[in-house]
Amino acid sequence: MVYLSNPYIWGSALAWLVVFGASFYYIKRATALSQFIDNRCPEIWPNLSWLRGDYMAYRPNLRAGRIDRLILLNSAAKDHPNDPEFGRLLSRARWSAGIFLLAFVAAIALLGKAGAT
């Protein structure tokens, strides 16, 4: 029952809710960005991979890793289209990823602080 009165536990619970919400929106926005690329600029898919050349002919469906590299590491920056919709989708996905990361770190730190008290 001591844990129910600990503010660090409640703060961590709130941070975990933010983590789950941000992860939901990250997946939703990454999927929208992937569909946008499929529909309007499919030529940038091969440029979003670590792998080049003949190997990509055998592994064309590595989209989850490619979209994460685009969002988190700004891969193929020179190949990004000048479409404002692309920039908006990319920016929103990056915000979701940033909020997820900050909330995750806060949740872990608050759990550690709650265990120390």
Q: What pLDDT digit, counting tens, does each position of 55-112 carry?
A: 554 455 667 778 888 888 887 788 888 889 999 999 999 999 999 999 999 999 999 9
Residue 15 domain boundaries: 2-116
DSSP the chain: -GGGG-HHHHHHHHHHHHHHHHHHHHHHHHHHHHHHHHHH-GGGGGGGSS--TTHHHH-TT-HHHHHHHHHHH-TTGGG----HHHHHHHHHHHHHHHHHHHHHHHHHHHHHHHHH-
Nearest residue to 26 via CA among 108, 107, 90, 85? 90
Q: How many domains does the chain have?
A: 1
pTM of the predicted structure, to 2 decimals: 0.82
